[in-house]
Chain A
Amino acid sequence: MAEGYIGIDVGSISTKGVVVDREFNVLASRYLRTQGNPIDSIRRLLAELGGQVDSGVRILGAGTTGSARRLAGVMVQADIVKNEIITHAVAASHFHPEVRTVIEIGGQDSKIIILRDAIPVDFAMNTVCAAGTGSFLDHQATRLGRPIEEFGGLALRAKNRVNIAGRCTVFAESDMIHKAQLGISTEDIVAGLCDAIVRNYMNTVAKGKEIHPLILFQGGVAANVGVKKAFELMLGHDVLVPEHFLVMGAVGAAIVASEETDGKGTRFAGFDVADTDFQTRAFECEGCPNRCEVIETLREAKVIDRYGDRCGKWSKL
């Protein structure tokens, strides 16, 4: 029977998962929408991944990453729970050892990772503002009545890229409406939007970073050829979208899981977690004026994890 590792990346917008073999070749990969319900999406993900490998792979290790990494880790009993900076960097340098810059734009956050000699040395993430991330593009595509998949192609057909204010999602939207009312073509406006996203990224996330090739572009927004083109125009270098750009975080989680377990055996709960009942609930602790919101995860009505308290009163189980 084949052996391999499983990596799960649960973000705000999408849930990604891969099964890789011992050389980290991707055997199965899935990309689902989180739809505000990570428990359900993790369950569906495992069911679909299990179906793809047809239970023909013995899992040696499991890793989780992304903003819901903790929840996912508790659910599947992962061997390692790792933040998304490291997993993206690890996966990028595995497939392209000569990479020196990773641009990652996901549903609600964006980051830059600087690598030297295949080692991540610096990074930055967007702070409080989500302007220019995937959910904004999604929203604009819906507003213009175009499927998100076609959106990037539209930008490539632009004749005159117009200037769109990219500092803020709200202003960008009103600027786009204004330009449309002036009679400017949708192609030109969408190209302007791609430029605005890149400009915003360069001024906030990538501020002060030295960007050298090879540049990888990963995360959901990398599917958008318009944004890729805008990056190339801005940076003056080719930008490479790796084959598994959608699931790089998950691949990285699988790789760190292999480093972590290293033949020691796994805690992974198996693909049939999909059939187990999980719940989360939140309550406000009234022990002090901090009123921490404590989140509990329950498996079959038993509390298996708690977090969110500042003092540790609840998180110690």
Chain B
Amino acid sequence: MKVGVPRALLYHRYGRFWEEFLAGLGAEVVVSRRTDKVLLQQGLSHVSGEICLPIKIMAGHIEELGGKIDVLFLPRLLWLEDRLYACPKMIGIVDIARMMFDGRLPICAPNIRGSFWWPHFRAGMELCHDPVRVVRALTRARRYIPAHDRAPDFPAGEKRVALLGHFYNLDDDFISRPMVDTLTGHGYRICTKDELPEKVLRNRQGFARKIRWVYERELYNAFRFLVDKVSGVCIIVSMGCGPDSLVAEFMREEAQQRDIPFLQLVIDEHSGTAGIVTRIEAFLELSERRHAGRSKIQDSRLQIGGQAAAA
């Protein structure tokens, strides 16, 4: 049996887990190819123009898989622990897929409410009917659910910038390549939220407690953790993303108070790479000039202070 997994949205976090799980059930796993212009165009024809870029891309991946598989595997994440919700558009993608195929393609869509175990067990039973095999496959695959328990190192003297955004945007080369290339091309190490330990991302103290969207809470927690370790914060927001636009505003204010350069890049299918590169270059240079200017001002203060002491 050919089971299709679209290489978009949650795949960028749970893809390895799903591939191992489905293979363990004896299925032939078909993953759609990496996002490209053709896939995006396909997606655009299926969803409303108002919706965000990652959903458009997801629709393209689903369409691409359509004729090649026997069943589409499309878990629906409703909420994770602590009743932290996923975005409604992500929850709705299963319904978009149903409309696209109009019953012509079976869709296996476990509803994840907090725990991963039961929904995946039931989905496994739908696909292979052998409980022992399902339990074994699930147990083996579970270790591929990514979770870091150690924070990366932040050595002194390294040029670092935080690139904050949803993993499904940052891990999709088609979206993030121009940004990543520009930043690394200028000698910066990129710090993202998905390399941070679970306990940082799951923090529920302070303002984070009030954020009820799972990935926005992660973004905010990552921002708080990284803000004093980097020379600038660049956040990637999909055009039309409600939760992001709200949380980004809080981050912008905090960055301003702490005097950290902050850049918000809005992406949609029209955003040419030229505009993005111009903004990132200006942002990096701004933070460098700002840094140089600040040390110059401090130097002159030091000299004035020194002279006064000598006098």
Contacts and interface: CB of A to CB of B under 8 A. Distances in A.
B278 A289 contact: no
Interface of B: 33, 36-39, 174, 177-178, 239, 249, 252, 261-262, 266, 268, 270-271, 274-275, 278-279, 281-283, 285-286, 289-290, 293-294, 297
B36 A290 contact: yes
13 contacts: A117-B293, A117-B297, A119-B293, A121-B261, A121-B286, A123-B286, A125-B275, A125-B279, A128-B268, A208-B252, A289-B39, A310-B177, A310-B178
A120 interface: yes
A289 B271 CA distance: 19
A127 interface: yes
The 9 closest A-B pairs by CB, nearest first: A85-B282, A119-B293, A289-B36, A289-B38, A290-B36, A83-B278, A83-B282, A83-B281, A290-B37
Contacts of B37: 289-291
Contacts of B282: 83, 85-86, 123
A118 B252 CA distance: 22
Size category of the A interface is: 20 to 34
A127 B252 contact: no
A204 to B, nearest CB: 11
A118 B293 CA distance: 9
B278 A85 contact: yes
B268 A288 contact: no
Contact of A120 (B249, B278, B279, B286): B286
A120 B36 contact: no
A121 B39 contact: no
Contact of B271 (A121, A122, A128): A128
Contacts of A86: 282, 285-286, 289
A84 interface: yes
B266 A127 contact: yes
* Chain B interface, >50% SS class: helix
Nearest to B38: A289
Contact of B290 (A121, A127, A290): A121
Given A117-B293, A125-B278, A127-B266, 7 more contacts: A83-B281, A120-B286, A123-B286, A127-B275, A128-B239, A128-B268, A289-B36
A119 B268 contact: no
Contacts of A121: 261, 286, 290
Contacts of A288: 36
B281 A122 contact: no
Contacts of B281: 83
A67 interface: yes
A127 B272 CA distance: 10
A243 to B, nearest CB: 24
Contacts of A123: 282-283, 286
Nearest to A119: B293
Contacts of A125: 275, 278-279
A291 to B, nearest CB: 6
Nearest to B252: A208
Contact of B289 (A83, A119, A289): A119
Nearest to B36: A289
Contacts of B249: 208
B37 to A, nearest CB: 5
Contacts of B270: 128
Interface in A116-153: 117-123, 125, 127-128
Contacts of A85: 278, 282, 286
Interface in A55-112: 67, 83-86
Contacts of A128: 239, 268, 270-271
B74 to A, nearest CB: 23
A131 to B, nearest CB: 15
Nearest to B266: A127
A296 to B, nearest CB: 16
A123 B275 CA distance: 14
Contacts of B262: 122
Contacts of B252: 208
B203 to A, nearest CB: 26
Among the interface residues B38, B252, B282, B285, which one has the most CB atoms of the partner chain A within 10 A? B282
A252 to B, nearest CB: 12
A259 to B, nearest CB: 11
A120 B37 CA distance: 36
Interface in A287-314: 288-291, 310
Nearest to B283: A123
B274 A67 contact: yes
Given A127-B266, A289-B37, A84 B278 contact: yes
A128 B240 CA distance: 13
Contacts of A67: 274, 278
Nearest to A87: B282
A85 B275 CA distance: 12
A127 B267 CA distance: 9
Contacts of B289: 86, 119-120
A141 to B, nearest CB: 27
Contacts of A127: 266, 271, 275
